[in-house]
Amino acid sequence: MQLHDVHQGIHRRKKRKRVGRGTGSGHGKTSSKGHKGHSSRQGFKQSPLSEGGQMPLARRVPKRGFFNGRFKKHYVIVNLEDLEDRFDAGAVVDEAALRAHGLVKGQEFDGIKILGDGTPTRALEVHATKFSASAAEKLAKAGGKAVVVPYKPHAVRTVPTGEA
């Protein structure tokens, strides 16, 4: 083999296979689809998950665990450092105050959880659904209070179709 023969027959673009153009082409008559059956018919599209007669991967691999996502709780996470930056000493921090300062947005959640990232220097009274152990401890150490309140979701007002 010579150096000028290395790329012989290799082209930048592969030509598409033109089927059904006569028996002389080698792809005539049945157009390489075989005889009869659903795969020879027009419009046939095989599922990408189909593996012929082989046991499908989803059935070969064992199933493990359980996830009941319908009942999973979603909490808005707020860190102590965020409260330290936005609230003055002695302030009562509840959902309304957190919304006013832009820390809580939207309504698709099941409560507010305060995490202990940061060190508070001001005494704050924080009302939330849940507190991490470190957050409650740090708030108490700074002279504040961690008050656990049950979360009540806001009723979303829907406009009837007759009103504008």
Q: Cα separation of 124 and 89, whole Å?
A: 6
Please name the amino acid found at residue 71: F
Cα–Cα distance measured from residue 65 to residue 43, given in angstroms and rounded to the nearest whole number? 40
Residue 153 to residue 96: CA distance in whole angstroms: 13
Q: Is the pLDDT of residue 138 over 80?
A: yes
pLDDT digit string (tens) for 86-120?
999 999 999 999 999 999 998 889 999 999 999 99
Confidence at residue 153, expressed as pLDDT on a 0 to 100 scale: 72
DSSP strand pairing (130-131 vs 112-115): parallel
In 10 A of CB 101, how many CB atoms?
A: 15
Angstrom distances, CA of residue 106 to CA of 38, 98, 150, 160: 51, 12, 18, 22
pLDDT band for 144, please (50, 70, 90 cuts). very high
Q: Which amino acid is at 144?
A: G
Give the mean model confidence (pLDDT) for residues 56-68: 90
131 strand-pairing partners: 114
Element holding 147 (H helix, E strand): strand 145-148
In the predicted model, what is the mean pLDDT of residues 66-92?
A: 91
pLDDT in tens, 5-61: 888 888 888 889 999 999 999 999 999 999 999 889 999 999 988 998 999 998 999
pLDDT score of 117: 94
Summarize the confidence of residues 146-151 as an average pLDDT.
92
Backbone angles phi, psi at 13, to 5 degrees: -120, 135
Domains and CATH numbers, the chain: 71-148 (3.100.10.10)
In this prediction, residue 161 carries a pLDDT of: 60
